[in-house]
Amino acid sequence: MFWFDPKYLLFVSPAIALMIWAQFRVKSTYARAMRVDAKLSGAAAARYLLDQAGCHDVNIEETHGTLSDHYDPRHRVLRLSSDVYHNHSAASVGIAAHEAGHALQHASGYMPLAIRSAAVPAAMFGSNAAMILIIMGIFFGKFFLWAGIIAFAAFVFFQLVNLPVEFDASNRAKAMLTEYNIVDGNGAAAVRSVLNAAAWTYVAATLQAVMTLLYYISRAAGGSRN
């Protein structure tokens, strides 16, 4: 069947291997960085950085899960997982500062973030509709197949735009934590390790999306309907 084609594995296997390695790196660097002390908890560090930037209206909330931290631009809320919210560690302040970086992007009108936010509805629709349309294309012709490819391309576009947004937030976090002396030299190294490892997960996800899109295009262009 179309979606079990071994050719698909040939396309995406590098991205899958990269994702497995990146996730292992995130877990291992996070565990090590949680043992490196910091002067503030993740929540306190985020609050301090936001206040220094004049973002007093951004609230900070505790949320459930592990590494479930995120910034909600619609409600201007920074949500931190319990470990990050409470712990005084390099991992906690690094992740909190990264999410604070997104809030600062929002406050400054950082264009890639605005584009990413605008692309979210199309990306969600594209990721959900693409497979349905592609399966329909197998049975009913290339019109549906190409429609599915276009829908999936919206998701790929979101992933591509997401990369500079995440990299910029990490760069802001590293700079702010050092500038305000929230971490020492050892802490700064631990923060870099965690955020750099996380960056590779974004790269792997984007690579997988791009290679999947290329696979769909190659099948459509090749005319195979097996």
Rounded Cα distance between 95 and 200, Å, is 15
Structural tokens at position 170: 């990490």
Told to judge if 61 belongs to the known catalytic residues of this protein, a careful annotator would answer: no
Per cent of the chain over pLDDT 90 is 77
What rounded mean pLDDT belongs to the chain? 92
pLDDT at 9: 87
pLDDT at 226: 44
110-138 pLDDT, tens per residue? 999 999 999 988 888 888 888 888 888 87
Going by pLDDT thresholds of 50, 70 and 90, the confidence category of residue 225 is very low
Question: What contacts 211, CB < 8 A, 6 or more positions away?
Answer: 11, 12, 14, 15
For the cut 90, the answer to whether the pLDDT of residue 71 exceeds it is yes
Q: Tell me the backbone φ, ψ of residue 80, rounded to 5 degrees.
A: -120, 135
pTM of the full structure:
0.88
Going by pLDDT thresholds of 50, 70 and 90, the confidence category of residue 224 is very low
Distances in Å between the alpha carbon of 214 and those of 25, 107, 128, 187? 27, 36, 18, 41
26-67 pLDDT, tens per residue? 999 999 999 999 999 999 999 999 999 999 999 999 999 888
For the stretch 78-95, what's the b/e string if a residue is b when 16 or more beta carbons lie within 10 angstroms of its beta carbon? bbbbebbbebebbbbbbb
For the cut 60, the answer to whether the pLDDT of residue 223 exceeds it is no
Which region among 6-20, 94-108, 196-210 has the lowest average model confidence (pLDDT)? Answer: 6-20
Instruction: List helix spans (H) across 53-141.
Output: 82-86, 90-108, 111-140
For the cut 50, the answer to whether the pLDDT of residue 1 exceeds it is no
Look at the chain and count its residues: 226
Within its chain, how far is the Cα of 2 from the centroid?
A: 29
**Which listed residue (61, 62, 99, 179) is catalytic?**
99
What's the whole-number mean pLDDT along residues 152-181?
96
57-70 pLDDT, tens per residue? 999 999 998 889 99
Q: Tell me the backbone φ, ψ of residue 167, rounded to 5 degrees.
A: -65, -40
Structural tokens at position 203: 């790269």
Rounded Cα distance between 176 and 100, Å, is 10
